[in-house]
Structure formats: C-alpha cells, structure tokens
Amino acid sequence: MLFIVGLGAQGGKSGALNGVFPETKGDILAVFDADAKVTPDLLKRVVPLFNQEKIGAVQVRKQIANEPLNFWTKGQAAEMALDSFFQQKRISLGGIGELRGNGQFVRRTALINCGGWNEQTITDDLDLTMRLHLDDWKIGFLNHPAVQEEGVTTAKALWHQRNRWAEGGYQRYLDYWRFIFNQPMGLGKRFDLISFILMQYLLPTAAIPDLMMIVTRHRLPVLGPLTGLMLSLSFWGMFTGLRRIKNQETFQFMDIFGFGWQTLRGMVYMMHWLIIMPCVTARMSIRPKRLKWVKTVHEGTPEESYQV
C-alpha cells in the first residue's frame, strides 16, 4: 500500500524524512531514492541483521543500474565496488560503517535517540552516520542483494554530485569534531575516522601542490609514500570488491582479466577526486556553511537547482 504525503519545500531530503516520520509505525525505517530498484528478498536479508541490539542502521550495497552506458557510469560502478569492500573491512576491524542515503535501514529507537534527521546538512546520510556512532550505535552492511540506482551520465552532473558529497563529508567533521574527541567512541572508531579523513580528504587536497613541487622544483614528492599507499589500497580494494560481487554470480577464471581492466578504468575515473577535493577545501575555507545542492538528474527528470 502506497501513501503519498505532501510536504513543504524546507529542509530538503532531511525535512521530507522528518515530515513523514510521524506517519510511520514500524521498528525499522527504510529510505530509498525514487530511482531505486530492489529484489523481493531484500527484507529477509536485512531484518535479521537488526537482531544485534547495538545495530542502529544497515546500509545495503549500491549498484549502478545503467553501468554499461558510458565511461562515467562504468567508473561509478567500480567506485561502488570499492566502497562496498572498504565498508566491510572497516566494520570488521571495529571501525565506522557508513550510510549512503539510498538503501539505508534505520532502527526507530536509534533515530529518536539521535534527534531525527538533521535539516541543516546537505548530506543527511553522512550526518546521521556520525550521530549514530557518537551515540554508541553500530552500522551494519549488506553486500547481497544490492539496491540499484541510476548513475549520473555526464561530467557536469558528476561534478555537482561529488562536490555535494565532499562538502557534506567535510562538514560533519566540522560540526562534530568536539564530540569525536570527547565522546567514548572507542579507539577503533576514532582511529578509523582519523585515517579516513587523511586518506579521502586531506591527502587528495595536498597531492596537487605536491605535484607542482615536482614539476617546478624537480624534487621527489614529499607525500609520495602516502600517495602510493592510497593508490595501492584503492586498486586492491576496487579489484577485490568487483571480484566479491561476481563471486555471488557465475565466476570463471578469465573474469580476472576483466576485473583488472575494470579496475584500471576505475582508477582513471577516480582521479576526478584530485580536482574536486582541493576545490571544495578552498571554497569551504573562505565561505560560511551553506545549504545548497544541485538535484541529480535522472531519466525523465529535468535538471533543477535547489537552494535553501
């Protein structure tokens, strides 16, 4: 049975979720984007994970439905494989599991304890991730089955989407850094957060000036060892993530060469972060916090910009 609830324009996605929350009754809330596609057995796989009392939310692996379309969609598919691999590794080592917006399941009591969705953020999933862990909840991850979503198909759309992701990812650290160091999160989660912000945010930002030093001063890169480690981990994680996904289907030895090619192409695609992260870092260092996003364009959806 489908209920459509009309809401105002304030608060973005978080505002819509908070608005519909009083109309829900279940112990577990599922959040999907409009373009999401799932298998009939998804609930049978997700719900048992909540038998663990400390599981406050579960994220389902995301899969790009229009992967074969072009370079950008194929790159996003490899990126999702990389993300799924590191999600599983981080959780298994006692680190941080993260929500990804589409295909997330949240325990009602955990959401209430955290104060609902934050309407003062452009990435509600990353913000809720931080608050769940600060409240001593865990986030689980389901690798199979996946939730399918439509990937962006142009460089312009990717630019807008990834800028929002990067800015929202940065903002959660700025909003909650005091609690990160004061709350009893545990050594594993705190180490995970520090490593993650170093590898995903700070190192890509520093890579550009480091490269300029190589070109202009003809010196060895200062961050060469860390950059090499980041690239090696990304290649390994992407290759392994792609292989794990295929292992659930029909796997043949020759598929290894296909994984290698997909990984190489994915690594080239991932270079866009080396442009986006410095731009976002520079912008956030001189501009105050803002709630602005460009709506992701899907098939049959006109391109629109929203600003609060």
pLDDT tens sequence across 29-45: 999 998 999 999 999 99
What residues are paired with 242 via a beta bridge? none
The three-point CA angle 123-125-129 to 5° equals: 120
Question: What share of the chain has pLDDT > 90, as a percent?
Answer: 56
Cα–Cα nearest to 78, from 272, 259, 298: 259
Inform me whether the pLDDT recorded for 248 exceeds 70: no
> Poorest-confidence range of 246-255, 258-267, 294-303?
294-303
Inform me whether the pLDDT recorded for 293 exceeds 90: no
Average pLDDT, the chain: 87
Q: Which residue has the tokens 């955290």?
A: 114
Question: What's 12-307's CATH class?
Answer: alpha beta
The three-point CA angle 69-75-81 to 5° equals: 115
Inform me whether the pLDDT recorded for 294 exceeds 60: no
Within its chain, how far is the Cα of 146 from the centroid? 14
For the residues of 20-34, what is the DSSP string, one character each? HGGG--SSEEEE--T
User: Who wins on pLDDT, 27 or 300?
Assistant: 27
* Averaged pLDDT, 234-259: 84
What is the pLDDT confidence band of residue 180, given thresholds at 50, 70 and 90?
A: confident
> Poorest-confidence range of 6-10, 121-125, 132-136, 138-142?
6-10
The full length of the chain comes to: 308
The first and second tokens of residue 114, run together, are 């955290």
- Per-residue pLDDT reduced to its tens digit, 92-127: 999 999 999 999 999 999 999 999 999 888 899 999
- Per-residue pLDDT reduced to its tens digit, 57-80: 999 999 999 999 999 999 999 999
What is the pLDDT confidence band of residue 306, given thresholds at 50, 70 and 90?
A: very low
* Averaged pLDDT, 257-280: 94
Inform me whether the pLDDT recorded for 278 exceeds 70: yes
Helix (H, G, I), strand (E, B) or coil at 122: coil
Q: Which residue has the tokens 């442009």?
A: 275
Inform me whether the pLDDT recorded for 8 exceeds 80: no
Position 307 scores a pLDDT of 36
Alpha-carbon span 181 to 189, nearest angstrom? 11
Question: What share of the chain has pLDDT > 70, as a percent?
Answer: 88
Position 186 scores a pLDDT of 81
